[in-house]
């Protein structure tokens, strides 16, 4: 049957307590780097400026609503919708959009590098900040996995939400498999993830859902103070729990015979 979500999370917490300072330090570096990539991407395509104008309109309207009559409120909302900046207003610079996409894609190998760091920590292996750079060694494989997974999940979600969720669970271990054996191609990693997840998709779904209030609290803290402080603990906690789930499946896994599929 496998361990419950509670047991997996307890194991993750045990690793956190053992090397709390080092793990949180690398979590900070990862979060700052990922946030900077997101900010730079928004600056390049203009979406940061659009969001600022959007919030200015919201704040200006909120001040009027506080003392408005029902009739005035209707007019305020009408004016608000009419004055909202167009979504297309930040998509006119084609060169900026291309650069923005390229920058945002860098978050994928960065995330793979962080997965590498967390897997090493969960196994008690020596790890350093340089572990974050591992993802750039397998960048193209990581990008292909992300693209194909996103495409399959997107197609599944077009018809119903459930097929999209199932596809997400099915390929969720692809990156960890790539980290464990960088010689494997992206398609092989996805196929092996699908085999590992047979009969375990519901377990993983429950595990992910058990972090719901953590996500809620982290987003609330970020919204209130403008800094993702709770994420510094949540990020390694979440990744370590996923690593425990992955490790537990490995002993019972037997790959199908046949030649390896390389991309």
According to the model, what pLDDT value does residue 51 have?
Answer: 55
Residue 78, pLDDT above cutoff 70: no
According to the model, what pLDDT value does residue 254 have?
Answer: 45
Q: Where are the alpha helices (DSSP H) in the chain?
A: 5-18, 20-45, 47-65, 70-83, 94-105, 107-122, 134-137, 139-159, 161-170, 174-180, 186-196, 201-209, 212-225, 231-249
According to the model, what pLDDT value does residue 126 have?
Answer: 83
According to the model, what pLDDT value does residue 27 have?
Answer: 94
* Per-residue pLDDT tens digits for 222-262: 888 878 889 999 999 999 999 999 999 986 544 444 444 34
* Per-residue pLDDT tens digits for 7-17: 999 999 999 99
* Per-residue pLDDT tens digits for 18-73: 999 999 999 999 999 888 888 777 666 565 555 556 556 666 666 666 566 666 66
Supply 60's token pair.
Answer: 């200006």
* Per-residue pLDDT tens digits for 173-183: 999 999 999 99
According to the model, what pLDDT value does residue 239 have?
Answer: 96
* Per-residue pLDDT tens digits for 134-161: 999 999 999 999 999 999 988 877 776 6
């Amino acid at each position: 049957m496998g361990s419950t979500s509670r047991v997996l999370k307890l194991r993750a917490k045990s690793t956190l307590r053992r090397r709390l300072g080092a793990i949180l330090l690398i979590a900070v570096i990862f979060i700052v780097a990922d946030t900077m990539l997101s900010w730079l991407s928004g600056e390049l395509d203009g979406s940061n400026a659009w969001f600022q104008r959007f919030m200015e309109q919201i704040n200006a309207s909120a001040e009027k609503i506080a003392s408005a009559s029902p009739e005035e409120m209707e007019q305020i909302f009408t004016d608000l919708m009419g004055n909202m900046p167009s979504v297309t207003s930040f998509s006119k610079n084609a060169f900026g959009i291309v650069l923005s996409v390229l920058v945002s894609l860098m978050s994928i190998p960065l995330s793979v590098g962080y997965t590498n760091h967390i897997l090493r920590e969960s196994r008690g292996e020596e790890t350093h900040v340089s572990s974050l750079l591992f993802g750039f060694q397998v960048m193209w494989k990581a990008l292909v996995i992300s693209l194909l997974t996103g495409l399959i999940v997107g197609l599944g979600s077009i018809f119903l939400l459930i097929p999209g969720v199932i596809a997400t669970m099915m390929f969720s271990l692809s990156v960890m498999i790539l980290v464990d054996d960088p010689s494997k191609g992206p398609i092989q990693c996805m196929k092996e993830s699908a085999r590992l997840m047979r009969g375990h998709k519901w377990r993983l779904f429950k595990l992910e859902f058990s972090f719901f209030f953590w996500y809620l609290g982290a987003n609330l803290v970020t919204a209130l103070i403008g800094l993702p402080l709770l994420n510094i603990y949540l990020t390694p906690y979440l990744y370590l729990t996923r690593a425990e789930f992955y490790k537990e499946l490995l002993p019972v896994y037997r790959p199908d015979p046949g030649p390896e599929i390389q991309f």
